Structure 1
Amino acid sequence: MRTRMILFPLIIFLIGILTGCARAPNAATDSIVVVDDLGKEVRLKAPAQRIVSLYAAHTENLYSLGLNEEIIGVSDSESFPPAALAKPSYSFRGDAEKIIAVRPDLVLARTFIANNYPDFIRKIEAAGIPVAVLYPENVDQFLLYLKKLGQLTGREKEAGALVEEFNARLKKADELVAGIPLQERKKVFLETNSDIMTCTPDSNAAFVLAKAGAVNVAADAKAVKQGSTIAPYGLERLVANGRDIDVYIVQKGEMNKSRVEEIYLRPGYQVIKAINSRQVYLVDEAVISRPTMRLLDGITLVGQILYPERFKYN
């Protein structure tokens, strides 16, 4: 009888192992697993509660998910929202030990950092801190990226709501643009860098132009290098298309600090239709290229420039 009493619990335990009912407390199946843009599995035992964000778009999207106290550090190039400016800042060009010292349970980086500062990333990971390298280059990737952020932070429901909001507002923009005959749509050149660079047709900026009802004059532009969304265009091609450019939009940011009056005075620009009709506009890079919910604001802003009678919604 005593032998049976010993064997019975042992048999039950073994059956549990075979059927998967008995699992180690920290087994991989209990972890949050997200594959980042390097194809690397980022594993967390629980939603991140101490996050260092090394890219302004990550920071902005974390706030959009309703996070604040969980963000213990941000990049040194933050601009929005205002609350982010009060957070301690860290640079990927600096010492990784400074980030390790604050004991984050997740560091968010982007592919530029991983490609150009691999030792920085390796040091953080060597300290046992997970690093998720994420950078959505287009809108489809952006919506998937929001879901990944939601998984990593335990905000799946909020991420789903943001995706729904994004798609709903895109539908509204589509409805506004649908009524504009193709032959009446404004032809636009977007300058991303002051040396007459533009955006690639698969970029966030090109998407914003299209959703705002613009015809992208530089839709055939090729990337300056593989993986980049910046494309060289040059004065010769610009002038060749000059008579067709109704509106000249300048993406203003770190890579382009041009002023409107300066653009009107550029040599050779006088053949451009938009120059003669005084249709040059500056648009903040953060709302036209940065992968955040504010791309929707960028669509509205560009739409109001091109078709003010149609884009009247907020």
Structure 2
Amino acid sequence: MRIKVFLFVPCLVLLLTTLAAAASIVDSEQRTLVFSQPFKRIISLYPAHTTNLLELGLNREIIACGPGDSQLSGRPVVQFQDDPERLLALKPDLVLIRPMISRGYPNLVRILEKNNVRVVSLQPTAASELFTYWETLGRLTGREQQGKAMVETFTKRMAAITEPLRKIPKEKRKRVYFEAIHRQMKTFAPSSIAMFVLESAGGVNIATDAEQVRETNIAAYGKERILAKAARIDLYLAQSGRMNPVSVNDIVKEPGFEVIKAVRDNQVFLVDEEMVSRPTMNLLDGIGFVRSLLYPDYGQEGLSRL
């Protein structure tokens, strides 16, 4: 009996120590991941993940990236369409994806996890999720303090950008239609990160009645609804990039758009999608850039640290 007690006590202490040291996160698909040590061999299949990992001070830990990610030259390039064996050959301990991948390629997730590779799906679709996302990456990689520092830095720099806007009465702020996908006449969801950028820059979203598409940051709108508000659109803004390969000329020459106030006043502009749609510190550049379009009289006030 004494032998059993002698063996039981150390095991209990070991178990309690392990539980105390364990950390956990909840990803964007509400899956809970419990882990006992930071991940050191990471495959990043979303450029925003890579950007944020680098911001956290990680570099060698990122062993491979996706094909649309040029931030780390010389690293192996893999994609979620690949045979899972190609990813497994790199011996990752963590693969970072986003919900689009897990929904479209569940077999990839299943095979990776079957081979003891942790898979975490992360992508904030609302501004309210942004800070939690950065802190989650910090927790996964043992960079919790750096994750909190990102939040603090972002908050301070954004305050400097938005401070001058307090001088502008709300009724005098410019009204904006923010285009997400031109060919489908879609805008951004009112709670999206892109609209957070617009509103932080002092713009007023004229499409607050847009219907969010599933759980994405995109919202359906349509040409008829845009034209119904044509006289009230002071500035027409469109994201530009892979998701929306559009030009200013495409917009101003769109049949019917000649009645839009912003088109008549030459107030149609493009903004790089990386500055308004990806959940990185580059959103500060996006806020500063959009503010300069809306209120050029404010010049570089508060932007010197960008």
Shorter-chain TM band: over 0.9
**Displacement of 1:229:** 1.6
**Displacement of 1:163:** 0.6
| Correspondence 1:30 to 2:21 | yes
**Displacement of 1:311:** 4.9
Aligned counterparts, 1:54-73, within 5 A: 54-73=45-64
> 1:247 maps to which residue?
235
Aligned counterparts, 1:106-255, within 5 A: 106-195=94-183, 196-224=185-213, 226-255=214-243
TM-score by length of 2: 0.92
> 2:44 maps to which residue?
53
Task: State the distance in 1 between where 2:115 and 2:261 align.
Answer: 57
- State whether residues 177 and 211 of structure 1, in contact with CA within 8 Å, keep that contact through their aligned partners in structure 2: no
**Displacement of 1:231:** 1.3
Structure 1 vs Structure 2: percent identity of aligned residues? 39
- State whether residues 300 and 311 of structure 1, in contact with CA within 8 Å, keep that contact through their aligned partners in structure 2: no
Structure 2 segments unaligned to the other structure (5+ residues): none
> Structure 1, residues 4-62: CA drift from partner, whole Å, max 9, x if none?
xx96x976665556xx5x21599454333222222222233321111000111111110
Of 61, 65, 75, the residue aligned with 1:74 is: 65
**Displacement of 1:78:** 1.3
Change (3 A) 1:235 1:15: closer
Of 261, 265, 268, the residue aligned with 1:273 is: 261
Structure 2 residue matching 1:304: 3-state secondary structure = helix
Task: State the distance in 1 between where 2:87 and 2:17 align.
Answer: 25
Structure 2 residue matching 1:261: 3-state secondary structure = helix
TM-score by length of 1: 0.90
Of 280, 297, 303, the residue aligned with 1:309 is: 297
Structure with higher Rg: it is 1
Query: For this pair of structures, how many residues does the alignment match?
Result: 301
Structure 1 segments unaligned to the other structure (5+ residues): 1-5
- State whether residues 104 and 129 of structure 1, in contact with CA within 8 Å, keep that contact through their aligned partners in structure 2: yes
> 1:3 maps to which residue?
none
